[in-house]
């Protein structure tokens, strides 16, 4: 499979690259600063792109069986609104290049219904996080709204708190529900995103993932 990774030098993006190469896929890493990705592999192509510009991204989308974006949460006061702005650029570039399958990283608190989540997460932690990180989650909501305007086969992966620790190789996922747990290693989010690529039940859906 040919996989394009946007934001390949970030926490989740880097893990996607590592897992995809380990799985035997051909990977195109699209990122603003290629020098930040130190991984070298015969099946890895690194392209300098602007993740917020469709024309810049289009060459990286050509021939891709799936596009995975690791661009999600950023600083609370980032004026670029990177999640939604990048989603718009990525989807436009994919449409121009003829690519269809897209998976992006979102966040668990966007599960507004609370379906599949424990009481404390639903009634206490999620409202608290929204109060503190409203700008971040609003940008992610805009990102998901952008996806809904396209005819792409997209999936928005919603993890809880991300951890910088080795992946376990195990995770739980629920379509239009969850995440059920309170945290997950970034490596396991990457694993989930790759595993969900061929799953049509996740097309045009949000999926909660957690340990």
Residue listed under structure tokens 């639903």 = 122
Looking at the structure of the chain, the number of domains it has is: 1
Token pair for residue 180? 């059920």
Task: State the residue range of the domain holding 81.
Answer: 2-210
For 20-30, what is the mean pLDDT? 98
pLDDT score of 121 more than 80: no
Strands (E) across 38-152 are located at: 44-48, 66-69, 101-105
Compute the half-sphere exposure of residue 45: CA atoms within 13 Å on the CB side of its CA: 15
Per-residue pLDDT at 77: 46
Residue listed under structure tokens 């991204």 = 57
Tell me if residue 12 falls in helix, strand or coil: helix
CATH number of the domain enclosing 171: 3.40.50.720
**Among 14-18, 65-69, 102-106, 137-141, which is the least confidently predicted range?**
137-141
Question: For residue 3, which of 66, 46, 50 has the smallest C-alpha distance?
Answer: 66
Q: Which residue has the higher pLDDT, 126 or 185?
A: 185
Residue range 105-118, pLDDT digits in tens? 999 999 877 677 77
Q: pLDDT band at residue 94, thresholds of 50, 70 and 90?
A: very high
pTM beyond 0.75: yes
Question: Mind spelling out the 3-state secondary structure of the chain?
Answer: CEEEEECCCCHHHHHHHHHHHHCCCEEEEEECCHHHCCCCCCCEEEEECCCCCHHHHHHHHCCCCEEEECCCCCCCCCCCCHHHHHHHHHHHHHHHHCCCEEEEECCHHHCCCCCCCCHHHHHHHHHHHHHHCHHHHHHHHHHHHHHHCCCCEEEEEECCEEECCCCCCCCEEEECCCCCCCEEEHHHHHHHHHHHCCCHHHCCEEEEEEC
């Amino acid at each position: 499979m040919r996989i394009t990774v946007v934001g390949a030098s970030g926490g989740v993006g880097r893990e996607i690259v590592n897992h995809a190469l380990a799985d035997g896929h051909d990977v195109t890493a699209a990122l603003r600063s290629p020098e930040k990705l130190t991984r070298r592999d015969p099946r890895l192509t690194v392209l300098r792109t602007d993740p917020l510009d469709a024309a810049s991204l289009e060459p990286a989308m050509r021939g891709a069986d799936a596009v995975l974006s690791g661009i999600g949460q950023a600083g609370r006061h980032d004026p670029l609104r990177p999640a939604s702005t990048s989603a718009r650029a990525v989807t436009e570039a994919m449409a121009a290049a003829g690519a269809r399958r897209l998976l992006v990283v979102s966040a668990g608190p966007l599960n507004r219904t609370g379906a599949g989540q424990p009481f404390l997460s639903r009634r206490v932690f999620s409202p608290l996080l929204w109060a503190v990180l409203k700008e971040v989650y609003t940008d992610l909501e805009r990102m998901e709204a952008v996806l809904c305007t396209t005819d792409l086969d997209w999936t928005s992966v919603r993890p809880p708190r991300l951890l910088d620790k080795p992946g376990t190789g195990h995770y739980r996922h629920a379509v239009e529900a969850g995440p059920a747990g309170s945290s997950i290693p970034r490596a396991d989010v990457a694993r989930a995103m790759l595993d969900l690529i061929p799953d049509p039940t996740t097309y045009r859906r949000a999926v909660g993932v957690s340990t």
